[in-house]
Structures are given as C-alpha cells and as structure tokens.
C-alpha cells in the first residue's frame, strides 16, 4: 500500500490518535493528532473548538484514554506511520488542571516519543514542560513546541490561562535546554467597539520580548468568530459580529474575514517579525506576505 492508502486504512479504526485535518485544509502537511482531554478549563473567549466539541465548558478525561492510545500507536507502527508528526493537543489544552491529577499528556508524550514519533506540542501552559518528568519524557530533536501568546496581557480574552510573562519565562528556559519553541500569535483580534484587539505598539513589544526569549518562529492567524461563542460569551460575540458581517462572510460555523482584511491585520505582526529575522507563518490565512508560509514551520524543523 502507498502512504495515502495506509493512512486511510489506519484512520478507519483510529480512536484517539487521529488524522489531523482542520477545516479540510489543503495546506497542512500530513500529520496525526491526539487531543488528550475533552473540553478546556482555560475558557478563552476566542476559542473556536466550541464549534465542534460538545460541552466544551466541561473539561474531562476521555474514557479508556491510555488503552485506546496504546492500541492506536501499535496499529500506526504496523502501518509504518510513526514518522508522521503528532500534534498534542490542537483543540484542548493538554496541560490544564486535569493533567495534575491524571497525567494523560505525560503518558502520551512518553509513549509517542518511545515509539519514534515526532511531536508538535501546543500549549498555553509551557511551564509544565519544564518539570523534570516531562523533560525526561521528551526528545529535543523530535519535539517542536508551540506556545500560544496572542497578547501582552490576558485582558478579558483568556480568563484562566497562565499570564503572558510566565509563558515567556518558560519559553526562555526551554530554549536554553535546546528545545525549538514557536509562538502562536493566534488569534489576531481586530479592535472594534468595546473589543481591544492588539495595537501595533503592543505587537511590537510582544514580538521584541519573544525574540529576546529566543523565539525564531511565529505563527499567526486572524480570529474566526464562531457561532458557538454566543452561549459562552455573548457580549464578545455580539460586539464583534458587525465588524465580521461588514468585512467577512459566514462559512459553515463561523464568520471569517476577507483576505484583504486579514492582510492588514497581519501586517504589524509580520513587520515586527521581519525586523528581527523571525520566520513567519499565516497558518491557513490566505494572505500574501513575502517570505511567509501558510503552514506552521514544523516542517522546517522535522524535515531539515
């Protein structure tokens, strides 16, 4: 069987280690993903995972998670898929408070690393990765870490996530330990009405601090305003909806901005990165910025 056939056969029986395919993207390279928990305690107002995860506000463990992951890993090995990168976790924070008790993310990191997978760890709580048992489980040569930091301060967007400066401190520590750390300035939020999106001066300061912390990869994406936000944070949704109605369109379960509007929102972040020689990705936003890519930079890390 060729690679596509093997991946198709594997996907039919996969339980928790599944094919990564955000919004039927034609941009993202082949990879797998495992969302360690269901739902998220950080409750960020902009999170689009509410659109497809039931009871997102009720974080919980997945039934038989460890057993199911072991079975999936064994099946992936049999089909020769263990060279694919695995995202941990693309939709739900892997190091939310549940991890302190259950350590399912630690279990996944160790199992996948021991079986020669490449890992893309996505988190707003990178301090967890600096703890000895997590460092022991990871391999710096096969681990690409993405830390989400959209703002200099959490404002009202990220009510329960760790503070920005705590995240930056952990990034510095991980870089000093030879890990490659990218930062997701995701989402870029437009300033409109009562919503204080990122100002150009805030972006400049944030990118400068990230550069000093050793960050050489920035991934940015404009906010998709999902309809499911109306139940969790109606004020946020209704404050931004007129802007998105005027400057975007409704697609399936969210408002998405026009490409030319995205281009203008990206420019301050992009220009701050170019000034410092930081690689830039627009993460599926179809905008044209010289030297940028539409996918994250993990392919440069894993396939260099």
Q: What is the 3-state secondary structure (H, E, C) of 116-142?
A: CCEEEEEECCHHHHHCHHHHHHCCHHH
What is the mean pLDDT of the segment spanning 271-300? 88
Classify 30 as helix, strand or coil. Answer: coil
What pLDDT was estimated at residue 22?
58
What pLDDT was estimated at residue 301?
74
What pLDDT was estimated at residue 148?
98
What pLDDT was estimated at residue 43?
94
Lowest mean pLDDT among 66-75, 183-192, 282-291: 282-291
What pLDDT was estimated at residue 108?
98
Residue 55 zone, left/alpha/beta (φ > 0; ψ -120 to 50; rest): left
Lowest mean pLDDT among 23-37, 94-108, 110-124, 217-231: 23-37
Calculate what percentage of the chain has a pLDDT beyond 90.
84
Backbone angles phi, psi at 257, to 5 degrees: -75, 155
Domains of the chain: 3-296 (3.20.20.70)
What is the mean pLDDT of the segment spanning 54-66? 96
What pLDDT was estimated at residue 185?
97
What pLDDT was estimated at residue 296?
76
What pLDDT was estimated at residue 281?
94
What is the mean pLDDT of the segment spanning 109-119? 97
What pLDDT was estimated at residue 154?
77
Please say if the pLDDT value at position 5 is more than 60.
Answer: yes
User: Residue 234 — pLDDT band, cuts 50, 70, 90?
Assistant: very high
Q: Are 183 and 244 contacting, i.e. CB atoms less than 8 angstroms apart? A: no
For residue 97, count other CB atoms closer than 10 A to its CB.
14
What pLDDT was estimated at residue 23?
54
Q: Are 117 and 72 contacting, i.e. CB atoms less than 8 angstroms apart? A: no
To the nearest whole number, what is the mean pLDDT of the chain? Answer: 93
Please say if the pLDDT value at position 135 is more than 80.
Answer: yes
What pLDDT was estimated at residue 25?
55
Please say if the pLDDT value at position 143 is more than 80.
Answer: yes
């Amino acid at each position: 069987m060729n690679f596509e056939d093997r991946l198709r056969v594997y996907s039919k029986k996969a339980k928790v280690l599944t094919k990564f395919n955000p919004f039927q993207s034609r941009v993202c390279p082949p990879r797998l993903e495992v969302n360690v928990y269901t739902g998220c305690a950080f409750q960020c107002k902009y999170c689009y995972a509410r659109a497809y995860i039931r009871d997102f506000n009720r974080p919980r463990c997945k039934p038989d998670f460890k057993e199911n992951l072991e079975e999936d890993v064994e099946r992936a090995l049999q089909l020769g898929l263990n060279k694919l990168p695995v995202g941990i976790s693309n939709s739900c924070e892997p190091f939310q408070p549940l991890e302190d008790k259950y350590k399912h993310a630690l279990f996944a990191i160790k199992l996948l690393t021991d079986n020669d997978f490449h890992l893309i760890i996505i988190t707003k709580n990178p301090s967890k990765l600096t703890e000895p048992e997590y460092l022991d489980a990871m391999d710096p040569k096969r681990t690409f870490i993405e830390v989400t930091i959209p703002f200099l301060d959490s404002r009202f967007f990220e009510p329960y996530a760790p503070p920005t400066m705590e995240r930056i401190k952990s990034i510095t520590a991980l870089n000093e330990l030879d890990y490659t750390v990218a930062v997701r300035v995701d989402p870029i939020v437009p300033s409109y009405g009562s919503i204080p999106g990122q100002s150009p001066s805030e972006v400049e300061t944030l990118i400068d601090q990230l550069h000093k912390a050793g960050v050489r990869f920035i991934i940015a994406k404009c906010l998709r305003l999902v309809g499911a936000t109306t139940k969790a944070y109606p004020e946020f949704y209704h404050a931004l909806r007129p802007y998105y109605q005027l400057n975007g369109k409704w697609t399936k379960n969210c408002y998405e901005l026009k490409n030319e509007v995205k281009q203008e929102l990206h420019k301050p972040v992009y220009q701050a990165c170019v000034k410092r020689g930081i690689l830039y990705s627009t993460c599926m936003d179809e905008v044209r910025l010289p030297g940028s890519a539409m996918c994250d930079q993990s392919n440069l890390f894993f396939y260099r």
